[in-house]
Structure 1
Amino acid sequence: MSVGRALQGMGAGFTVPSALAILTTTYPAGPERNKALGIFGGTAAIGSVVGVLLGGILGSTIAQGKVEDRRLDIFGMASFTIGIVTIIYYLSESPAKGWTSAATLAPLIIGIVLLITFIVIELKIDYPIMPPHIWRSRRFLASCATALCLMAALNAHFYFSSLAFQDVLGYTSLKTSLAFITHGIGAIIAVGVLSMLIPHVRSKIFLVVGWVFMIASGVMWAQLKADSSYWSIPFPSLIVNLISMVCIWLTCQINSVADAADEDQGVVGAVYNVSLQIGAPIGIAISNIIANHKNGTFAVGSELLPGYIDAFYSFAVMGGVGLVVTLILYPNSDPVRPPTKAEETDVEVGTATAEDDERGTGDKEEIEEYSEIKAGSVNATVYSESSASLEKRV
């Protein structure tokens, strides 16, 4: 599984920068490029949502072997998937086509109706794909809300930092890709360090620190100038951002499944990942609106910087929203880990040994007393038999 996950990350590392480079070199800076990148982000989000849902379905049905009388929530799956996809389409396409145009409003209305239908279905049937009881966990609800805020801020960050590298600082596609290497390498190191700290620090503290760093990263990027060097603004901003990302991501992932029963682990993981994917187009859409409002339609090159600065501030605000969500929704206490089977066995063995020790002295005395009685009985029997034999001889 770890190797597969590593290969998946390598594949994304190869394809995403290359695809982004093709788009940015094919479409000049301005409305056409913005539209192309918006479609690129939207289709990626749609694919991620569909993939996560299908993975959760397969993991909870086919992967577990033959299950008697296992019914699938076909209508629930269809209504939720299509509803989410159409809403993501609206968020992705509206900056280019207009937020009130028929081409975007129609999918939005369809998506809302389908999601309402999905909720009704899940409340009525006996075999829901998303059992309503999973939302009773405050920790799970908070993790999903926090994950959505995280991906909204992160995608706004990566989207506009990539554009700033190329449009404002004049980096080539290759140089832009290399500029993010520090972020990737630093994230690997940060994951190792923070993984060791997580058992010793409360989850809520990790999240608060992460959101503070996220806000700081956005504010730092907003100080970018057309003549800024890589080491003055982008590099420290990327380092601060990766610390933020790892703090929030690791903590949310651990807490999202902490309260779930074994039979709900698959669906809880799928819903949590859907929250991540939904946040991506929301963040890009919001920051795009803000940037385009400042830059207008025909700005190019360094003229785009004012709008990009506003976009960087917008993702700092998204970090602030995530901080508020964390403070309000997240429980102060960490989840209590249930004992493993091995630990339960140790407890049972220890209890039995203690009970044996308590009655050990009494058992020993009873055994000795019984032995004495038995020996006495044997001696008495032998004595009686010997006496009888002697009387016969006399």
Structure 2
Amino acid sequence: MSHGSSVEPANVAPPSSGHRTPESPQVTHLARPSGDDAPRRSWLVLGLMLLAQFMVILDVSVVNVALPSIGAALGFSSGDYQWTVSAYVLLSGGLLLLGGRLSDLIDRRRMFVIGLSVFTTASLLSGLAGSPLMLILSRAAQGMGAAMLTPAAMAIVMTAYAGRQRTTALAVWGTIGSMGIAAGVLFGGALTTLLGWQGVFFINIPIGVVVLALTLRAVPAGVTTLTSIRRLDLPGAITAVLGLVALVLGIEHAGAEGWTSPMTLLALAAGAALLTAFAWIEKRATTPLVPPHIWRVRSLVSATAVMAGVTGAVVGAIFLNSLFLQGVLGGSPLVTGLQFLPLALVITVSAATAGKLLGRVSPRSMMAAGLAVTALGAALLIHVGEHSGYLTDVLPGFVVLGLGVGPMFVAISVAAMGGIKGEEAGLASGLMMTGHEVGAALGVALLTTVGGNLTTAAGLLTAYPKAFTALTGVLLVLAVFTLIAVPRRAGSAR
């Protein structure tokens, strides 16, 4: 962490026993451990939140490698493959904003515990699934749990640290986010080979139980009042959830059926109408789901936009490479997973290095530089073809991708959340992670549209150079956008 110094929780005074107005948000403060236990308790809280978030990010991509085995075991139709992934993304992406607001209005530890319990139970049901429908429903429940625990986890981190310690904690959070996407393919291949497809779900159970037990001991409970629950903007919450679900559904369907299919157009139109209604409701609400001043925090809004684009590019690149390495280069799930290990390691090392540089380099500059390096990595993969080798052609691109991706996600997390007040950390986190989920869905859909048929070796050979040419262009555009739109200081409105 920061130059060998111990990380201590922020010195936040406990809520007063006096009167509190209904407009005051319910804030859960972490108690300051006393004496020699303070640094150890501080590290434990951060570690628990990061481990839970790692599981959530991992589950976006860990299933992809296991899908052929799952389909063979459960007798999947072609549509079942898509919905096994989409059900998770739909519920997590659609509910994150609401989950973030709820974590600010009620006890954050309670929201985290509920979300983690739902996620862990749904993981058990996914591994026990005996039919496509049961698996799809349990994956949807996993997404629901993820949408509750993620904003609460970041809010706990935000209120546990201040100053340089908060920046360092956010940098580590960004490291976990970037590493989890690549590690999902690695773990998916290993678990499927060693434990069967059920292993990609069952692995969450012992981790979830341990994190849950330690959280109840390490994170003090807050107080939930009836007043704080009544402050929830229910009409705004309903339209936001339905609008985001419809939007993600349209994007996901476009990846399978194309952007002009009736279902795609209907879902996107419904999403646009519902989100327009949400904006109208928010302007008239006494206590809006997203307070107007949040939209004026330019660092949060612009970094969230970059998050959506970057996640789409990275998830799309990993998705296409997982298909290419198996479908064209002939790797098994285990070998394919191991081939992503260098990418995960480079992301981890580069992200850790970036965290130490943030005191001397602005998040905006680091984001732009990371995007440019990631674009170079994508460009190196454009010429990979039928006669290419992993070590000579694919691995160099992976290494350069990792060098850019690690710092990029670290800087995005700090830029988006660095200037946010503790009492609004859950909502801000929900907004940022909504960009992450929508971007993940959009990236795969756009890549499929650009690349075309990804189900055959011939189709992959045609799609690969086209897709990475497009990804290179998108990443360069995002780099320019970052320099124009993202302010130099986190939390700035200018």
- Partner residue in 1 for 2:296: 136
SS of residue matched to 1:171: coil
Query: Distance between the aligned counterparts of 1:35 and 1:13, measured in 2?
Result: 23
Tell me if 1:44 matches 2:199. Answer: no
Q: Is the 8 A contact 2:94 2:244 kept in 1?
A: no
Q: Is the 8 A contact 2:326 2:336 kept in 1?
A: yes
Tell me if 1:65 matches 2:109. Answer: no
Shift of 1:321: 2.3
Structure 1 111/319 Cα, relative in aligned 2: closer, same or farther at 3 Å?
same
Q: Is the 8 A contact 1:83 1:115 kept in 2?
A: yes
- Partner residue in 2 for 1:82: 242
One-letter amino acid of the structure 1 residue matched with residue 307 of structure 2: A
Q: Is the 8 A contact 1:147 1:252 kept in 2?
A: yes
Query: Distance between the aligned counterparts of 2:467 and 2:474, measured in 1?
Result: 11
Shift of 1:68: 6.0
Query: Distance between the aligned counterparts of 1:200 and 1:260, measured in 2?
Result: 21
SS of residue matched to 1:200: coil
Q: How does 1:113-132 map to 2 (within 5 A)?
A: 113-132=273-292
Which residue of the other structure, out of 428, 451, 454, is the alignment partner of 1:291?
A: 451
List structure 1 runs of 4+ shifted beyond 6 angstroms.
none
- Partner residue in 2 for 1:365: none
- Partner residue in 1 for 2:352: 192
Q: Is the 8 A contact 2:236 2:281 kept in 1?
A: yes
Tell me if 1:323 matches 2:479. Answer: yes
SS of residue matched to 1:69: helix
**1:27-65 Cα distance to aligned partner (Å, 9 max, x none):** 79xxx9986654444333213224533531331122152
SS of residue matched to 1:170: coil
Q: Is the 8 A contact 2:98 2:237 kept in 1?
A: no
Query: Distance between the aligned counterparts of 2:295 and 2:301, measured in 1?
Result: 6
- Partner residue in 2 for 1:334: 489
Query: Distance between the aligned counterparts of 1:76 and 1:285, measured in 2?
Result: 28
**1:284-322 Cα distance to aligned partner (Å, 9 max, x none):** 111100111xx5x8x722452121211111211221221
Q: How does 1:186-225 map to 2 (within 5 A)?
A: 186-225=346-385
Shift of 1:204: 2.2
- Partner residue in 2 for 1:364: none
Structure 1 38/312 Cα, relative in aligned 2: closer, same or farther at 3 Å?
farther
One-letter amino acid of the structure 2 residue matched with residue 301 of structure 1: A
Query: Distance between the aligned counterparts of 2:77 and 2:394, measured in 1?
Result: 22
Structure 1 17/179 Cα, relative in aligned 2: closer, same or farther at 3 Å?
farther
Tell me if 1:304 matches 2:464. Answer: no
- Partner residue in 1 for 2:183: none
One-letter amino acid of the structure 1 residue matched with residue 96 of structure 2: V
- Partner residue in 2 for 1:148: 308
Which residue of the other structure, out of 327, 334, 343, is the alignment partner of 1:167?
A: 327
- Partner residue in 2 for 1:355: none
Q: Is the 8 A contact 2:96 2:434 kept in 1?
A: yes
Unaligned segments of structure 2, at least 5 residues: 1-44, 108-221
Which residue of the other structure, out of 31, 34, 55, is the alignment partner of 2:99?
A: 55
Which residue of the other structure, out of 409, 424, 427, is the alignment partner of 1:249?
A: 409
Q: Is the 8 A contact 1:221 1:234 kept in 2?
A: yes
Query: Distance between the aligned counterparts of 1:13 and 1:105, measured in 2?
Result: 29
Q: Is the 8 A contact 1:167 1:302 kept in 2?
A: no
- Partner residue in 2 for 1:357: none
Q: How does 1:84-99 map to 2 (within 5 A)?
A: 84-99=244-259
Tell me if 1:233 matches 2:396. Answer: no
**1:341-364 Cα distance to aligned partner (Å, 9 max, x none):** xxxxxxxxxxxxxxxxxxxxxxxx
- Partner residue in 1 for 2:262: 102
How does the TM-score come out when normalised to structure 2? 0.61
Shift of 1:17: 6.2
Q: Greater share of helix residues, 1 or 2?
A: 1
Q: Is the 8 A contact 1:41 1:92 kept in 2?
A: no
Shift of 1:15: 5.8
Query: Distance between the aligned counterparts of 2:272 and 2:287, measured in 1?
Result: 23
Larger radius of gyration: 1
Query: Distance between the aligned counterparts of 2:403 and 2:235, measured in 1?
Result: 41
Shift of 1:278: 1.0
SS of residue matched to 2:391: coil
Structure 1 13/250 Cα, relative in aligned 2: closer, same or farther at 3 Å?
closer
Structure 1 56/178 Cα, relative in aligned 2: closer, same or farther at 3 Å?
same
**1:177-196 Cα distance to aligned partner (Å, 9 max, x none):** 11111222222222221111
Shift of 1:4: 2.8
**1:52-85 Cα distance to aligned partner (Å, 9 max, x none):** 3353133112215234633211111111111111
SS of residue matched to 1:65: coil
Q: Is the 8 A contact 1:226 1:302 kept in 2?
A: no
